[in-house]
């Protein structure tokens, strides 16, 4: 037996999730968001499984470069645009699309001399107040982009702050703001992330920009992707590396954080925060041992966690433990850890072995 922490990446599930998405948004082109190494799944593998999408979205030039090197020839959008003149030059060389979200980026485009003009996605801030030109700046910015020699096609976009929430009027207000400010401008538009695509179909427009749902996961509190027909792409597994019988009153792990309330059988699973398992996972966080749910107890260590095997007395050394994925939604583990599934997926560390199917 060796330390066997594995992230099984199901590329068939990626294709399946794309089909589900196309059924939900049949009129829209798909810009698949695969930033942050494909939400931690491995960007190259995910891009390969998504060969049929209309474009990709990434966060930085190095991610885009990696995709071009892999032979990706559909449009690739830099979701925050360029940070410097040299990135503009590089983007022109790589044939990237760039977001323009602030005046400095517009001015840089007006000053720079490029080998070939760039497709620009002008981002309007409709209420998130992170990136985007204000409604007041919009018309002037748009006109200057049209006049700019370094710009070829223009698209419009915005991003939602609260599309994952139920009974939240802000998303519709953002849609209304977008429509009002951009009325009379007839170019392709993109509003919807995964949450909006699923819950606000009126936001789907020419392009949708799904990320998390392609990985089989939904951002809604108390829900999991299966409710939408999605399949989890990453299943994180390990093994039982020790089993011990502890006595009533003994304490378990760092800080003696868990007191055995009775004599109990305890399993040690070789996974920890050094692999990306969340250190703040609460007592009671579910783990699957041989397909059966057991609960996490004690503190999460760097290389191991404890589980209560009272309900699973037949478990033996080397038995499989699933931390999330098939049979155990990462949404649920995230909720037990005070975080969101995005973070858990992105933070799986390099020592975990990735296996692609």
Ligand X SMILES: *Cc1c(COP(=O)(O)O)cnc(C)c1O
Catalytically annotated residue among 247, 254, 273, 277: 254
Cα distance between residue 34 and residue 40, in whole Å = 9
**Of 81, 210, 225, 276, which lies in the binding site for ligand X, with binding defined by CB under 6 A?**
210
CA distances from 178 to 185, 191, 205, 321 (A): 11, 9, 12, 47
Q: Using the rule CB under 6 A, give the single segment among 17-25, 83-91, 187-195, 281-289 that binds ligand X.
A: 187-195
Closest CB to ligand X among residues 211, 276? 211
50/195 with CB nearer ligand X: 195
Segment 69-108, which members bind ligand X (CB under 6 A)?
79
User: Is residue 211 part of the contact set for ligand X (CB under 6 A)?
Assistant: yes
CA count, 13 A, side-chain hemisphere, 172: 5
Question: How far does CA 123 lie from the centroid of its chain?
Answer: 20
What character string, x for contact with ligand X (CB under 6 A) and - otherwise, covers 34-73?
-x--------------------------------------
As to burial, measured by CB atoms within 10 angstroms (0-12 exposed, 13-18 middle, 19+ buried), residue 2 is exposed
126 near ligand X (CB under 6 A): no
Active-site option among 35, 39, 228, 273: 35
Q: Cβ of residue 217: shortest distance to ligand X, in angstroms?
A: 9
Instruction: Report the C-alpha gap between 89 and 113 in whole angstroms.
Output: 8
194 binds ligand X (CB under 6 A): yes
Strands (E), the chain: 6-9, 29-33, 55-58, 76-78, 97-100, 118-123, 151-157, 189-190, 207-208, 234-246, 251-252, 258-259, 264-269, 286-289, 292-297, 305-308, 320-324, 353-356
Q: How far is the CB of 211 from ligand X (least distance, A)?
A: 2
Q: How many residues bind ligand X (CB under 6 A)?
A: 12
Question: What is the set of active-site residues?
Answer: 35, 254
What is the contact surface with ligand X in residues (CB under 6 A)?
33, 35, 79, 159, 193-195, 209-212, 219
């Amino acid at each position: 037996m060796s330390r066997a922490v594995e992230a099984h990446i199901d590329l068939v599930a990626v294709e399946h999730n794309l089909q589900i998405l196309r059924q939900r948004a049949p009129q829209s082109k798909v810009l698949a968001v695969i930033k942050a190494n494909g939400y931690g799944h491995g960007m190259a593998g995910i891009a390969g499984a998504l060969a049929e999408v209309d474009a990709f979205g990434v966060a930085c030039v190095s991610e885009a470069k990696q995709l071009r090197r892999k032979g990706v020839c559909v449009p690739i959008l830099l979701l925050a645009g360029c940070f410097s003149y040299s990135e503009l030059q590089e983007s022109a060389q790589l044939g990237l699309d760039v977001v323009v979200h602030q005046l400095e980026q517009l001015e840089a485009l007006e000053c720079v001399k490029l080998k070939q003009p760039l497709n620009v996605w002008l981002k309007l801030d409709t209420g998130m107040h992170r990136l985007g030109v204000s409604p007041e700046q919009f018309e002037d910015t748009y006109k200057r982009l049209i006049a700019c020699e370094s710009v070829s096609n223009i698209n419009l976009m915005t991003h939602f702050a609260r599309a994952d929430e139920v009974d939240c009027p802000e998303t519709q207000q953002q849609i209304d703001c977008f429509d009002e400010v951009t009325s009379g401008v007839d170019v392709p538009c993109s509003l919807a992330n995964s949450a909006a695509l699923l819950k606000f179909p009126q936001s789907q427009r020419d392009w949708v920009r799904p990320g998390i749902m392609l990985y089989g996961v939904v951002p809604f509190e108390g829900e999991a992707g299966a409710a939408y027909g999605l399949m989890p792409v990453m299943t994180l597994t390990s093994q039982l590396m020790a089993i011990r019988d502890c006595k009533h009153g003994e304490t378990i792990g760092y800080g003696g954080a868990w007191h055995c309330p009775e004599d109990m059988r305890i399993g040690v699973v070789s996974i920890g925060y050094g692999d990306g398992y969340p250190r703040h996972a609460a007592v009671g966080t579910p783990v699957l041992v041989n397909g059966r749910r057991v609960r996490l107890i004690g503190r999460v260590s760097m290389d191991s966690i404890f589980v209560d095997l009272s309900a699973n007395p037949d478990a033996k050394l080397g038995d499989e433990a699933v931390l999330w994925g098939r049979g155990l939604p990462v949404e649920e583990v995230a909720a037990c850890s005070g975080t969101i599934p995005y973070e858990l997926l992105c933070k799986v560390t390099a020592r975990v072995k990735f296996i692609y199917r």
